[in-house]
Structure formats: C-alpha cells, structure tokens
Amino acid sequence: MNPQLRDTLATYLKNDNDFRAIYDYTKQRFEVATELTAHNWEHVYRDVLNSIVIGETEGADMSVVLPATVMHDIGFLYGAVGPTHGAVGAERLVEYLQAGKITLSEAKVNHIADCLRTHKGSMHGEVPGTLEAKVVSDADMLEKFGPIGLYQTIRTYTEFNYPAAKVIERLNAFGSLSCQTATGRRLIEGQVEVVIEFARQLSIAYEPYYEEKA
Ligand SMILES: [Fe+2]
Ligand SMILES: [Fe+2]
C-alpha cells in the first residue's frame, strides 16, 4: 500500500468536516470497545486506506465512501454477531450519528446505510447496489487476502471463538470470494493463494489434534 495514502487521508479529513467528525467519533467508539479484538480501529483504518485506492480509481463519491467505510462495522458496537452486523449497523446508523452529534442529509444517511447493509458482498451473498457500496465492500474484502488477510482472518475467528475445524473449513472456502469492482479484482489477483496454502498446511498439521468425540 502506498505510504502517500496517509497524506491523502489527512487532506480528506482537513477538507470535509462531516467526515472528520465521523472519523474522530468512530475512532473513539472502537478504541473503548476492547472486546472487539479483530473488528477494531486498526481494521477500520486499513479499510479506509483501501477505500481511497479503490474509490478514487473507480470514480466513486468519496463523501459517501469515506464515512461509510469508517462506520461499516458499527453493528458490532451494538452486540451484533457476524452474519447480521451489516444489517444491524444500517438499522442503528441514525441513532449512532445522533449519539455522535453528527448531522447529515437524509439522502446521505440512506446511501451510507445501504453501504453498511451490503458490505460483506460475496462473503454473505449480498449485492451492493451503488458504486459507493461496491467500493466499501471491496475495501473490506481486501482484508481477506494476502498476508494481512490471513492475519486479520485469524484474529476475526478468534474474536468469534471458532474452533480449529471451523477456522480451517472457512479458510478453505476463500477461493470462492470475489470483488465487486475491477480495481478490487485487480488488487486481490494472486493473493488468495497465501490463505489457501496456509489452510491446506494447517489442515494436515492439525489432523492428529482433533479430540475423539465421547
Ligand atoms: Fe464487517
Ligand atoms: Fe470490516
């Protein structure tokens, strides 16, 4: 990832007061939610940088993409579990913004809510309807590929308390994941192999350690 992205993010934060308010408030909310060991601010921050690369290349409306990416996992702040967290985040968005004393137009709130609702994309069979929702989904999908994808996925399945067999089964299925935009597809090219190869080796190494069922 290009180190200049941090400067690009600083410029967006300087020029867009709504985005800065959302960024600061969300950072504060995730930093105190210490039970979210995978869906934490570090994850959100990486997604934001990913969304700049994908969103700018795709010509998306960054005034929607950036706040939506920052808030894409707020469902977890309301106790949602894996499969429902996008929908819960979308449902709680208005109350979340009110709690942060942030006012956006109704059209923008609805557009961002759609991005939250469908951000799992091919992972949960969701179909993002707008370019901005596709960008948010792809920025998050990059977190499943390559070395960072492997690192983040292990953290995620630890947060969910998955047993080893389920971790191996899930990692093995990553070959079927896909992105929504051409830029996302280009960025994940050749990157799933890291995860699949690890899953294959872990599957072999773990075999002697499965406990006999009583
Ligand atoms: Fe998510
Ligand atoms: Fe996420």
- Per residue in 89-115, pLDDT (tens digit) is 999 999 999 999 999 999 999 999 999
- Per residue in 57-71, pLDDT (tens digit) is 999 999 999 999 999
Neighbours of ion ligand 2 (CB under 5 A): 73, 140
Note the ligand closest to the C-alpha atom of 81. 1
> Which residues, other chains included, contact 187 with Cβ-Cβ below 8 Å and sequence gap of 6+?
50, 53, 54, 138, 142, 179
> What is the average per-residue pLDDT within 117-126?
90
Q: Is the pLDDT assigned to residue 1 strictly greater than 80?
A: no
pTM: 0.96
Distance 71 CA to ligand 1 centre (A): 10
Mean pLDDT estimate for the chain = 96
Q: How many CB atoms lie within 10 A of CB 163?
A: 10
**DSSP string spanning 117-152?**
HTTTGGGTT----SHHHHHHHHHHHGGGSHHHHHHH
Distance CA 205, CA 214 (A): 23
Can you list the pairs that 92-97 forms with residues at least 24 positions away whose Cβ atoms lie under 8 Å?
96/71, 97/22
